[in-house]
Amino acid sequence: MDDEKKHRHDSPEEVAEILSVVSEKVPGLIKGLVSAVFSEDTARNMAKAAATYYKELKAGGFPDDLALRMTQEYVSVFTKIGDVIKAARESENDEDVSKAVKEKIKRELEKE
């Protein structure tokens, strides 16, 4: 990376434009993630994935107790991701996200 790119600073207007787009897009992304994670299809697919994972571990010679523990840990990854998305949705409604981003834009513009 050349020196010009390393030391490039966005203008306050560019920062404001970027943050404005983010404030418009983030609430929709959160809603989309929530519906994707908590849909019936997702639950069905996660169950199939967990069953396949367990069957493959057993077919690979893993003992029952270890295969079960490993499958529980595998499923817990999905559960944790779902919990994070759910918490983000519950703690941040569209207005709060937009307000927070607009305040950030204002602070950035005041710095310049």
Domain range list for the chain: 9-111
pLDDT confidence of residue 57: 95
Confidence grade of residue 60 (pLDDT, cut at 50, 70, 90): very high
CA distance 58 to 68: 9
Largest CA distance in the chain: 63
Instruction: Give the position of tokens 């571990």.
Output: 57
Give the span between the Cα atoms of 94 and 84, in whole angstroms: 17
pTM for the full model? 0.48
**Residue 38 has what DSSP assignment?**
T
Q: What is the pLDDT of residue 90?
A: 64
* pLDDT over 90 (residue 84): no
Spatial distance between the Cα atoms of 60 and 52, rounded to a whole number of angstroms: 12
